[in-house]
Each structure stands twice: as structure tokens, then as C-alpha cells.
Chain A
């Protein structure tokens, strides 16, 4: 067996922010982990533990105070996509125009792109809404557009910042099942941060538990998963799910 390829790697990353009104907030304190190529890597942690900052560091929007961040340059060049907590749809563009934003920035936009984007809009059940403006869409619909947009760039690396938090519970189960399938079929290396333990258990090939500020990784799990984990509803009945939930809960409690 060949050694698995590391796509994203963090070593002892520290980051401190200036608080509004003075003072320093030590957000990340020695975060280290490796994301293997093609893996769905979930980070679960309490609100405000610096999960979003972590993604912005990996994207290169922020720089670490200390420590090393490695992103496989070849994979990064092949495309990186970023899905934010709140769908950032441009209010002056229709749903279709928002979904195609990534294709436009890549250049050479033509009818084939329009066709491809239209079919993924259909796939996510938004076909009737393609001429709508974002303000008439629900939170879940917006988030689906955001995911269509991210996956359309055919990224090698996908960074997700609680993308499903604004979606109601029922659609959330459906979309996360679809999302996991997409990531697996396309072999996208995904880093997914969430505060939702159940979501992390369902999605993650690897699950890292993050502490409160100043944050570090408390533990990393690589659970054995059978085919029931292909479905967000079915997996909840398994014993594996229960025991993972209890383990992560124990870690987070402290």
C-alpha cells in the first residue's frame, strides 16, 4: 500500500487577534493536523473557537503568527473552493448568475458553462428558481446555490465553514447526504468545520475535536464506517454513531 498523500497540513499554528477596544485574543494555540488527499476531514468545536479563522488561514487570506501551513501547491493550483457560513450571494445577480460566478472568473465563459450550471441547479432542486434574486430565496436555497457554485469550479480542495447551519433540519439531512456523495464521487479533499457533532460524525472520514479558545486539537478520530453512513438518516441508528457521539461529547465537555 502506498503512503497516503497529504494535501493540507498544519503544524503548531498560532494566531492572535486584536480585540475591538484593545486587548489580545489568543485564538489558535498550536493547532496541528493532516488532511489526506480525497478525505472528508471534519473539525468539530464549540462556537467561537476560531474555526472560521482556521479556514481563512488555509486560504491565505490571513497569515499565522507562528507555525506552518502547507497546502499541496499542485492541488491548490487545480482549484480551491470556499463555502462560507452564511451564503454570500450577490444581491444584484439572479440565482443562475450567482451560481455561474466561479465559471466567469475562470474565463472563457460560454454556453457549455451555462448548460452545465443549469443541470446542477436542477439536480439540487432549484430549477424553477433560476431567475430569482437572492432576497426572495430561503436560507436553505441560498446555501444550495453556494454549494453548486463551489463544486462547479471542480475543486481539488473544498473548505466549508458550517455551510448547513442556516438550513432547516429536514433539508439539512437531505443536502448533507447529497453533499457527501458529491465529495466522494469527485474525490474532493474537503475540510469541513462545524459545531454540530452529529453532522461531523456522518460526514467525516476523520474527525478532529477542537477546544475552546485558545484552541487546539484535542483528539483526532478515524472511525470505521459501513454503508449505512452513506445516508444521513440511516447512520443515526447505528451503534458506531452512538459511541462516536459519546466520545466526542466527552472531549468537548472539558
Chain B
């Protein structure tokens, strides 16, 4: 038996043991079942949600709130973060403000979001955007300020303007950090959308959980949590896909057309790039 197989076996059997223990404890008395539920009840509820209660629709709502918020947060945050590369003075002056804003718990402002954005889709997107913008800002700023000096010197040797240096070297180089921040932010964006739904909602996974808990239907709340996990994995997978093609993405932004959509293609040494 190879090592890989044995590790998988241990993982699977651990999960089975935990599920069995949960099932046995859950069934031991009605009181405990009321608090903990049981795996079989969760699966039954999950199935019910999927068939009768439009679970996929709720996933779609929460997912699109998180995704739009994530994109807005990333674009705004990284634009500001990257632009600080242009001026050391602005970067230094803004530092205490940035730290102050960064330490603010976004959810403290959740009620204000209703005042600003109403109770609909926009409010959840705003929550998601606000929870992601700071991480995006911070990581992209750090990415831009840690670009290898050697790369910048190459462009300086070519008498490139500061704008060209930014476009050809700083932006592509910091793209790595921007994409990393995006994947890190998937969780925060979902959390933001979720809290938004907690405050006020008609649909979405937060709504399902809130209503299930309100009705003391613990298995249903757990079943909705499965949906959230699946959503997080999907978004993370999309991030991983973008990260995989980051060179192509960067070329699309910063390399002249003649060079990346080249008609004469030679076979690559490693074709799985």
C-alpha cells in the first residue's frame, strides 16, 4: 500500500468515525438531537432544501453578492494600493489613516449600510466589498513596493518614464499579490454577504440559516452551511484558475497585441503553463 493511499484511508475513516459518533450521540436523546442534530438528519434536510426550497437559487444569490463585492473590493483596494507606489510622501502620510481604517470592524457599520445602501442586493455587495477592500489594499501596496530593483533598473536603463515603469514592471509584478489577496478574500467576501443577509434579507444562504435557527431546525442550519462551504470552494477554485493563467492575464494587459496573439506559435517546453 502506498503512503498516499494510507493517508486517504485514515482521513476517510476519521470522518466516518466522527459522523458515526455524532449520529449515535444525536440519537441518544431528543434533547441532544434538538441541539446537535445528526448527520443523517442533515443530509435529509440538505436533500429537501435542494429539491423543494431552491437551495441552488439561494447559493446563487449569496454567491453573486460575494463575487460582485469581492471584485469591487479588489479593484478599488488594489488601485489605491498600487497607486501609492507613485509617491513615497503620500504613502507615508496616509499610513496612520490606513491603519486606523484597517482596524475598524466592518460589521460595526452594518446598520449604517442599510442607511446608505438600503436593504437589498446593493447592501450585501457593499458589505462584501468593505470586508475585502482593506486586505486587497494592503497586499497590493506591499506587492508594489517590493518589486525587484533589478527589473526597475532595466527600464530605467531604457530611459523609460515612471508611468512606463509602472505599467511594464510594477503592475505585472504586483499582480501576484493582487491575485493572492483575492483568494484570501473569498472567505471575507462570503462573510460580508452573509452578515448582510443576517441584517435583512428575503433569500440567500444567510436567510436560510437565520430562518432555520429561528425555527430551531438545527439540521437545516447545518445543511445550509454545507452550501456555504461548497460556495467558498467554488469561488476559491475560480481564483485558482485565474492564478494559473496569471502570466496570460498580465500579458493581455501590458504586452502589445503583436506579441501575445502571435500567429507563429512554437511548441512550448512545458505545455501545461
Q: A residues touching B (Cβ–Cβ < 8 Å)?
A: 56, 59, 61, 79-82, 84, 86, 88, 90, 92-94, 96-97, 100-102, 104-106, 109-111, 113-114, 128-133, 136, 153, 159
Contact flag A114-B151 (CB < 8 Å), given A92-B251, A136-B270: no
Residue of A82, A84, A97, A129 contacting most chain B CB atoms (<10 Å): A97
A82 touches B168 (CB 8 A): no
A136 touches B168 (CB 8 A): no
Which residues of chain B have C-beta atoms less than 8 A from A86's C-beta?
150
Contact flag A90-B169 (CB < 8 Å), given A82-B153, A114-B259, A133-B273: yes
A-facing residues in B134-184 (Cβ within 8 Å): 148, 150-151, 153-160, 164, 168-169, 172-173, 175
A105 touches B168 (CB 8 A): yes
Chain B, residue nearest A77 (CB): B159
Besides the known contacts A92-B250, A133-B247, A136-B269, 17 further A-B residue pairs in the complex with CB atoms under 8 A apart: A56-B153, A59-B156, A88-B151, A90-B168, A92-B175, A96-B259, A97-B251, A97-B259, A97-B260, A101-B168, A113-B258, A114-B258, A128-B266, A130-B266, A132-B268, A153-B158, A159-B157
A-facing residues in B17-59 (Cβ within 8 Å): none
Chain B, residue nearest A118 (CB): B264
A61 vs B266: C-alpha distance when bound (angstroms): 38
Which residues of chain A have C-beta atoms less than 8 A from B156's C-beta?
59, 61, 82
Which residues of chain A have C-beta atoms less than 8 A from B175's C-beta?
92
A18 vs B156: C-alpha distance when bound (angstroms): 23
Residue of A84, A100, A104, A159 contacting most chain B CB atoms (<10 Å): A104
Contact flag A88-B269 (CB < 8 Å), given A97-B260, A110-B258: no
Is residue B2 within 8 Å, beta carbon to beta carbon, of the partner chain?
Answer: no
6 smallest CB-CB distances across A and B, nearest first, come from: A82-B157, A88-B150, A105-B160, A92-B247, A92-B250, A109-B256
Is residue B246 within 8 Å, beta carbon to beta carbon, of the partner chain?
Answer: yes
B265 touches A131 (CB 8 A): yes
Which residues of chain B have C-beta atoms less than 8 A from A104's C-beta?
168, 255-256
Interface size for chain B: under 10, 10 to 19, 20 to 34, or 35 or more residues?
Answer: 20 to 34
Which residues of chain A have C-beta atoms less than 8 A from B246's C-beta?
92
Q: How many A-B pairs fall under 8 Å by CB? A: 86
15 residue pairs bridging A and B, Cβ less than 8 Å apart: A81-B158, A82-B154, A92-B175, A92-B247, A94-B259, A96-B262, A97-B260, A101-B154, A101-B158, A104-B168, A105-B168, A113-B258, A131-B266, A133-B273, A159-B157
A114 vs B150: C-alpha distance when bound (angstroms): 25
Q: B residues touching A (Cβ–Cβ < 8 Å)?
A: 148, 150-151, 153-160, 164, 168-169, 172-173, 175, 246-247, 250-251, 255-256, 258-260, 262, 265-266, 268-270, 273
Which residues of chain B have C-beta atoms less than 8 A from A159's C-beta?
157
Which residues of chain B have C-beta atoms less than 8 A from A101's C-beta?
154-155, 158, 168
Min Cβ gap B177→A in Å is 13
Q: Please pick, from B155, B173, B247, the residue contacting A105 in the complex, using a CB distance under 8 A.
A: B155
A136 vs B268: C-alpha distance when bound (angstroms): 10
Min Cβ gap B157→A in Å is 3
A80 touches B157 (CB 8 A): yes
A136 vs B247: C-alpha distance when bound (angstroms): 14
A31 vs B181: C-alpha distance when bound (angstroms): 48
Min Cβ gap B248→A in Å is 9
A91 vs B255: C-alpha distance when bound (angstroms): 13
A84 touches B150 (CB 8 A): yes
